[in-house]
C-alpha cells in the first residue's frame, strides 16, 4: 500500500478522501494548502500527491511544478471542480499522472486510485529490478572491488541528492572554513566530517572527535580544553584537551547543540581568539584547528529558544551542510544494502552474498527513522539469521514498530505469562507514540495528527509514558 498526501483547502474534502484511502489500506497525510503540503512531503515523504487545483497562496499547478522539481519520483493526481480541457492539458504537460473532475463518486475515486497505485507498484518493481541488476552486475564485474562503487570515502550513494552532497564536500574541503552539518541521527554526519578532513589541506593532521552529548558539563570542559594537575578531585596530572590534540588538524564537535551554556562561552572564545586556557590553569595556549560541528536539530530550532547562543551559532554556521534522511534517498537502499552485506558478512560468519528483489522492496517501504545506521543494523541482523546465499524478506526483522509489538504479544501464552491486557495495550501505545514522534521529527502537533489525537490527549500520553519529543 502507498503513502498518500492530500492537499485541499476544504477540511471536509480532506477528511473524506483520507477516510476512503484508509479503507483501502493506504497511509495518509493531509495539508490545508500547498505550502504546508510541500513541507509535509519533504519531512514525511509520499508516493502519491492528490491536490486540489484552485487554492489560495499556492494553487495545484504550483504544487505540481514544485513536486516535479523537488520530488521527481512522486506521482500527482490533480482534482478540481474547474475541469476544462485546457486545464487538464496544462496539468498533464506539467507532469500530472492523472486528472479527476469534481463532483465524483467514492467508487470512481477508488477505481482511479487503484489504477494509479497498481501502475506505481509496477513501475517501482521495474525500477527495483533494474537497480538490483545494476548493483549485481557491479558486484560480479571482474576485478571490481567495493572501492569502485558510487561513493565518497566511506559514504555510499548514487542518488541525485547524494551526488549533490559529494559535490558540496569537494567544495567545502578546499577551504579552511568552519562547517556546520545538519542531519537526523544516523545520516552519516561523522562520515561527512571525515571526508571533508580527508580532502582538505589538513589531511595529514589529526582528526579528533568529541561527542558533546555523551559528557557532563564538567567532563566536557576537561575533554575539550584540558586541565591542570589538581584542578579538581581526581585530576592527578596535567592533561591536554581535544583542541590541543587536534592542533593543525580538524576537531569534530558532534551533537554540539547539547553543550551547556558556560561551556558555550568558553567554546566561543576559542573560536574567536584561537587560544584557550586549560581548566584550573592560567597559561594561554594558541591552537590552530579547523572546526566541523554537527547537530540533529535544524538551524531554526537552534536560534529559537533552544538555549544555544546566537553568537556561537553564527560562529559555527559559516558553511552549512544538510544531509538528507534515508527516506529521501530510497534509490540508494539497494546499493547500501549490498555494501553492508559485503562489509558485515565476514563478521557475522554469513554465507549470504546478496539481497532478493522482494527483500529490497520490503526495505524500501520502511520509513527508516534511524536512517542509514538503522539499515546497517537491520542488514546485520538478517545476515545473522539467514541460512541461504540470498537474503529474503523472512530473514529481516519486522520493521513496523506497532506491528512488531502486536505480533510479538499475539504469540504469548497469557495463561502462563502473567501478562494482562492493560500492559499489552500500553506497550503498543508507547511504541506507536514514539514512532509517530520520530516520523513527525519531534513536532507534537504533527504527531497528534498522525495518531488521530487531540494535542491535549497527546501531551497527556507523552507525560504518562515519560516520552520527550
**For 453-469, what is each residue's pLDDT tens digit?**
777 777 777 877 778 76
Q: Quote the percentage of the chain above a pLDDT of 90.
A: 30
Q: ω into residue 103 within 30 of 0, thus cis?
A: yes
**For 172-205, what is each residue's pLDDT tens digit?**
998 999 999 999 999 999 999 999 999 999 999 9
Q: What is the mean pLDDT of residues 57-71?
A: 85
pLDDT of residue 124: 65
pLDDT of residue 469: 62
Distance of CA 451 to the CA centre of its chain: 20
pLDDT of residue 94: 78
The three cell numbers of residue 451 are 495518531
Contact between 236 and 228 under an 8 Å Cβ cutoff? The reply is no
Helices and strands, counts by H and E, the chain: 20, 16
The pTM of the full predicted model, rounded to 2 decimals, is 0.57
Which residues are CB-neighbours of 79 under 8 A, at least 6 positions away?
A: 8, 50, 51, 52, 53, 60, 99, 100, 101, 102, 104
**For 400-433, what is each residue's pLDDT tens digit?**
533 343 444 444 444 444 444 555 566 667 777 8
Strand 289-295 to 249-254 pairing: parallel
pLDDT band at 241 (very low <50, low <70, confident <90, very high): confident
- Secondary structure letter of residue 279 according to DSSP: B
pLDDT of residue 271: 92
pLDDT of residue 347: 86
Which residues are CB-neighbours of 251 under 8 A, at least 6 positions away?
A: 208, 210, 242, 243, 289, 290, 291, 292
pLDDT of residue 406: 40
What's the Cα-to-Cα distance from 190 to each of 145, 186, 195, 205, 297, rounded to whole Å?
24, 9, 9, 17, 15
In whole angstroms, give the CA distance from residue 113 to residue 107: 10
pLDDT of residue 365: 83
**For 294-331, what is each residue's pLDDT tens digit?**
999 989 888 887 789 999 999 999 999 999 999 999 98
pLDDT of residue 427: 63
At residue 225, does pLDDT exceed 60?
Answer: yes
Element (H, E) at 194: helix 189-198
Average of per-residue pLDDT values in the chain: 82
pLDDT band at 396 (very low <50, low <70, confident <90, very high): confident
pLDDT of residue 315: 93
| CA-based torsion, 173, 192, 253, 243: positive or negative | negative
At residue 118, does pLDDT exceed 60?
Answer: yes
Which residues are CB-neighbours of 147 under 8 A, at least 6 positions away?
A: none
pLDDT of residue 143: 37
At residue 136, does pLDDT exceed 60?
Answer: no
pLDDT of residue 312: 93
pLDDT of residue 415: 42
At residue 27, does pLDDT exceed 80?
Answer: yes
**For 70-87, what is each residue's pLDDT tens digit?**
887 788 998 877 655 566
At residue 89, does pLDDT exceed 60?
Answer: yes
pLDDT of residue 138: 44
pLDDT of residue 426: 64
Q: What is the mean pLDDT of residues 48-66?
A: 86
pLDDT of residue 139: 42
Contact between 96 and 78 under an 8 Å Cβ cutoff? The reply is yes
Burial of 191 (0-12, 13-18, 19+ CB in 10 A): middle
- Choose between 289 and 221: higher pLDDT: 289
Q: CB neighbours (10 Å) of residue 131?
A: 20
Q: Quote the percentage of the chain above a pLDDT of 70.
A: 86
Amino acid at each position: 500500500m502507498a503513502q498518500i498526501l492530500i492537499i485541499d483547502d476544504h477540511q471536509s474534502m480532506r477528511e473524506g478522501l483520507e477516510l476512503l484511502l484508509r479503507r483501502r489500506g493506504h497511509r495518509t497525510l493531509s495539508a490545508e494548502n500547498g505550502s504546508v503540503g510541500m513541507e509535509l512531503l519533504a519531512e514525511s515523504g509520499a508516493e502519491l500527491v492528490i491536490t486540489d487545483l484552485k487554492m489560495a497562496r499556492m494553487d495545484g499547478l504550483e504544487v505540481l511544478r514544485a513536486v516535479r522539481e523537488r520530488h521527481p519520483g512522486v506521482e500527482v493526481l490533480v482534482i478540481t471542480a474547474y475541469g476544462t480541457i485546457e486545464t487538464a492539458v496544462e496539468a498533464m504537460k506539467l507532469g500530472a499522472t492523472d486528472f479527476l473532475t469534481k463532483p465524483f463518486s467514492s467508487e470512481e475515486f477508488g477505481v482511479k486510485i487503484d489504477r494509479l497505485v497498481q501502475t506505481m507498484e509496477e513501475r517501482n518493481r521495474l525500477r527495483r529490478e533494474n537497480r538490483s541488476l545494476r548493483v549485481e552486475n557491479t558486484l560480479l564485474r571482474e576485478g571490481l572491488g567495493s572501492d569502485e562503487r558510487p561513493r565518497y570515502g566511506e559514504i555510499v550513494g548514487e542518488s541525485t541528492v547524494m551526488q549533490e552532497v559529494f559535490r558540496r564536500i569537494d567544495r567545502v574541503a578546499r577551504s579552511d572554513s568552519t562547517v556546520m552539518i545538519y542531519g537526523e541521527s544516523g545520516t552519516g554526519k561523522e562520515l561527512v566530517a571525515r571526508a571533508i578532513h580527508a580532502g582538505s589541506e589538513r589531511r595529514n593532521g589529526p582528526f579528533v572527535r568529541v561527542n558533546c552529548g555523551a559528557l557532563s558539563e564538567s567532563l566536557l570542559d576537561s575533554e575539550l580544553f584540558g586541565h591542570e594537575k589538581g584542578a579538581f578531585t581526581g585530576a592527578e596530572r596535567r592533561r591536554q584537551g581535544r583542541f590541543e590534540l587536534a592542533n593543525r588538524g580538524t576537531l569534530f564537535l558532534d551533537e554540539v547543540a547539547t553543550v551547556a551554556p558556560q561551556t558555550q562561552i568558553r567554546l566561543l572564545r576559542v573560536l574567536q581568539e584561537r587560544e584557550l586556557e586549560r581548566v584550573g590553569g592560567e597559561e594561554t595556549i594558541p591552537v590552530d584547528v579547523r572546526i566541523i560541528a554537527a547537530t540533529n536539530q535544524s538551524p531554526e530550532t537552534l536560534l529559537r529558544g533552544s538555549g544555544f547562543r546566537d553568537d556561537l551559532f553564527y560562529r559555527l554556521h559559516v558553511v552549512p551542510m544538510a544531509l538528507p534522511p534515508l527516506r529521501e534517498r530510497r534509490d540508494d537502499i539497494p546499493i547500501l544494502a549490498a555494501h553492508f552485506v559485503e562489509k558485515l558478512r565476514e563478521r557475522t560468519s554469513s554465507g549470504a552474498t546478496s539481497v532478493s528483489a522482494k527483500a529490497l522492496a520490503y526495505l524500501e517501504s520502511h520509513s527508516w527513522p534511524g536512517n542509514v545506521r538503522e539499515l546497517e543494523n537491520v542488514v546485520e541482523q538478517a545476515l545473522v539469521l539467514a541460512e541461504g546465499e540470498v537474503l529474503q524478506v523472512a530473514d529481516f526483522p519486522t520493521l513496523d514498530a506497532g506491528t512488531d509489538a502486536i505480533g510479538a504479544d499475539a504469540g504469548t501464552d497469557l495463561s502462563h505469562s502473567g501478562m494482562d491486557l492493560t500492559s499489552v495495550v500500553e506497550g503498543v501505545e508507547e511504541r506507536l507514540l514514539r514512532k509517530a514522534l520520530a516520523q513527525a521529527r519531534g513536532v507534537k502537533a504533527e504527531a497528534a495528527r498522525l495518531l488521530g489525537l487531540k494535542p491535549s490527549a497527546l501531551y497527556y500520553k507523552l507525560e504518562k509514558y515519560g516520552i520527550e519529543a
